[in-house]
Amino acid sequence: MVTQSEENYLKAIYHLGKQGSISVSTNAIAEKMTTKASSVTDMLKKLAEKELVDYKKYQGVSLTKEGKIIAANVVRKHRLWEVFLVEKLNFSWNEVHDIAEQLEHIKSQKLINELDAFLGLPTHDPHGDPIPDREGNLQKSQKIFLSQVNPSVNCSCVGVKDSSDNFLKYLDKNSIAIGTAIQVLTKEAFDESMTIKINNSELTISKEIASNMYVKIN
Amino acid sequence: MVTQSEENYLKAIYHLGKQGSISVSTNAIAEKMTTKASSVTDMLKKLAEKELVDYKKYQGVSLTKEGKIIAANVVRKHRLWEVFLVEKLNFSWNEVHDIAEQLEHIKSQKLINELDAFLGLPTHDPHGDPIPDREGNLQKSQKIFLSQVNPSVNCSCVGVKDSSDNFLKYLDKNSIAIGTAIQVLTKEAFDESMTIKINNSELTISKEIASNMYVKIN
DNA sequence: ATATTTTTTTAGACAAGTCTAAAACATATT
DNA sequence: AATATGTTTTAGACTTGTCTAAAAAAATAT
């Protein structure tokens, strides 16, 4: 049995080390989890004992195959629940994280498979991040920042980087949401601002805005 | 903050003592929670400290107003999640309990209110038990056993008492589910068996079956 | 009314997960 | 290479929730 706390450590290692394959430091984990390095060391020993991580003193830590599967499954659950909250229960992007942090620890294989089907087998969560499949494989996300798109290219919004309240309100005001089609019209070399076309209306956006929105080229 | 464990104790007291108003014994709680009486005593002290229960040594325990609200809310969450699992995720009655035991501890007022609305403000869970409202009030359940219904009366199935696999399979086989309309045709005085009408087809059922099904008079 | 049985509480111990403070190790600087 | 700085681990302590074994109180039986 893997405890809730263990799952959280595995998830942190997974996120810090590119799906857990790269070795990450004790301090990095401590910072990510807002805990103390000594607590991390204690936990790493326990996880190594259970063969969920490869750990050598002072050498950093990475996930074993088994650890990677568990971590990917936690991430899968987290992101599926986020989709559920946004699509079915009227939550907005920035409200879902804390609740998904709780829901990701619910243990039931059937539950998560049924939820997946109920949601229509989504491949990305409301922030545009990919949802690991049952085997823990990630669909290679081909999302890029809107700021990287060249004029006259058509793309559609798939997510945001920073989902602060202010930013989401800005998107709302300009009727931009997940799936909204966007065409880049012009790109100003001086300040990297852009004009874009949404639903046949033009909009000028700053570099800050453009580099906070993820899009997919159509 | 109320811990998960505290919530479980409050819930046990709530169920054992008719919504927690009647005083229940240490041993009864221990048995219900499959733990030891000494552990219960420890927890009762803590809950009394937090003014969630009225507790005097050797005198049993009952919920305070505050404790009752918390317990009712846990029960509310448990039963709403059960409805969700059965109605939306294709679970059957007997599969939902363990998962609902986990989900009932998720903390988010908005989540539970939205879920409630999403499910259409249900008043009863898949077992026919009433769902406490936001204030913790129970709708007086007017469910009775099918065995108590008199001939020629129309009613509909609202739940079962014992949800063993065998029993649920029996119901399935005879196309009886929540909401199924049932008319009692005859009642045999000798063995209390009945004939009933479901979807225009007749069925004879034993006393054992009839006294394991809850119905509501139409 | 006293003895016996049952229930409940206390006392002390343990595991999980965390912390602080100090020691050990690794890295960077000169 | 020696020292300074930063990182990681160890040692010991604390909290929560649990347990066992023994003591205390209450209920029951004789």
Query: Quick one: which H or E segment has residue B145?
Result: strand B144-145
Question: Is the pLDDT score of A2 beyond 90?
Answer: yes
Question: Looking at residues B199-206, what average pLDDT do you find?
Answer: 90
Query: What amino acid occupies position B70?
Result: I
Nucleotide nearest to A34 (CA to C1'): C18
Pick from A65-69, A151-155, B113-117: least confident:
A151-155
Q: Do B103 and A99 touch (CB under 8 A)?
A: no
Listing DSSP states for A12-73 in one string gives HHHHHTTTTTS-B-HHHHHHHTTS-HHHHHHHHHHHHHTTSEEE-TTS-EEE-HHHHHHHHH
Strand D positions with any atom < 7 Å from protein CB?
7-12, 16-22, 25-26
CA angle B73, B74, B76 (to 5 degrees): 60
Residues of chain B contacting residue A111, judged by C-beta atoms under 8 Å apart: 85, 89, 99
User: Number of C-alpha atoms within 13 angstroms, CB side, residue B63?
Assistant: 25
Chain A: give the shortest CA distance to residue B97, in Å.
12
Q: Which of B88, B107, B114 lies at the smallest CB-CB distance from A102?
A: B107
Q: Whole-angstrom Cα distance, residue B57 to residue B37? A: 13
Residues of chain B contacting residue A108, judged by C-beta atoms under 8 Å apart: 98-99, 102
CA angle A86, A133, B88 (to 5 degrees): 45
Residue with tokens 């899009």, as numbered in its chain: A215
Chain B: give the shortest CA distance to residue A111, in Å.
8
Nucleotide nearest to B5 (CA to C1'): D17
Question: Is the pLDDT score of B68 beyond 90?
Answer: yes
Pick from A183-187, B138-142, B143-147: least confident:
B138-142
pLDDT tens by residue, B23-37: 999 999 999 999 999
Residues B125-161: b if buried by 16+ CB within 10 A, e if exposed: bbbbbbbbeeebeeeeeebeebbebeeeeebebbbbe
Would you state the torsion angle of the CA atoms of residues A183, A174, A95, B85, taken in this order, to the nearest 10 degrees?
Answer: -70
Mean pLDDT of chain B: 91
Q: Are B86 and B78 in contact (CB under 8 A)?
A: no
Q: Which of residues 80-99 of B touch A (CB under 8 A)?
A: 85, 88-91, 95, 98-99
Phi then psi for A104, rounded to 5 degrees? -65, -15
Q: Whole-angstrom Cα distance, residue A148 to residue A36? A: 38
Residue A198 pairs with which residues in a beta bridge? A201
CA distances to A35, A108, B91, B97 from B81, rounded to whole Å, are 33, 14, 11, 9
Predicted confidence band at B141 (pLDDT cuts at 50, 70, 90)? low
Distance B77 CA to D25 C1' (A): 39
Q: Which of B88, B91, B111 lies at the smallest CB-CB distance from A99?
A: B111
Please tell me the predicted confidence (pLDDT) of residue B20.
66
Predicted confidence band at B190 (pLDDT cuts at 50, 70, 90)? confident
Please tell me the predicted confidence (pLDDT) of residue B186.
85
Q: Report how many Cβ contacts below 8 Å link chain A to chain B.
A: 37
Predicted confidence band at B209 (pLDDT cuts at 50, 70, 90)? very high
The larger pLDDT score, comparing residue A18 to residue B29, is at B29
**CA R_g for chain B:** 20
Predicted confidence band at B106 (pLDDT cuts at 50, 70, 90)? very high
Q: Whole-angstrom Cα distance, residue B159 to residue B170? A: 14
Q: Which of residues 97-116 of B touch A (CB under 8 A)?
A: 98-99, 102-103, 106-108, 110-111, 114-115
Question: Is the pLDDT score of A97 beyond 70?
Answer: yes
Q: Are B163 and B177 in contact (CB under 8 A)?
A: no
pLDDT tens by residue, B144-165: 889 887 777 788 888 888 878 8
Instruction: Give the chain B residue whose CA is nearest to the CA of A107.
Output: B99
Phi then psi for B21, rounded to 5 degrees? -80, -30
Residues of chain A contacting residue B91, judged by C-beta atoms under 8 Å apart: 110, 114
Q: What percent of chain A has a predicted confidence (pLDDT) above 70?
A: 99
Return the structure tokens found at A167: 């930013």
In the 14-53 segment of chain A, residues within 7 Å (Cβ) of strand D are: 25-28, 37-38, 40-42, 44-45
Residues of chain B contacting residue A81, judged by C-beta atoms under 8 Å apart: none
Residues of chain B contacting residue A102, judged by C-beta atoms under 8 Å apart: 106-108
Residues of chain B contacting residue A106, judged by C-beta atoms under 8 Å apart: 99, 102-103
Closest CA to A37 of A67, A71, A9: A9
Distance B39 CA to C14 C1' (A): 14
Chain B: give the shortest CA distance to residue A29, in Å.
25
pLDDT tens by residue, A20-59: 678 999 999 999 999 999 999 999 999 999 999 999 999 9
Please tell me the predicted confidence (pLDDT) of residue B123.
86
Question: Is the pLDDT score of A141 beyond 80?
Answer: no
Distance B19 CA to D28 C1' (A): 30
Predicted confidence band at A105 (pLDDT cuts at 50, 70, 90)? very high
In the 159-188 segment of chain A, residues within 7 Å (Cβ) of strand D are: none
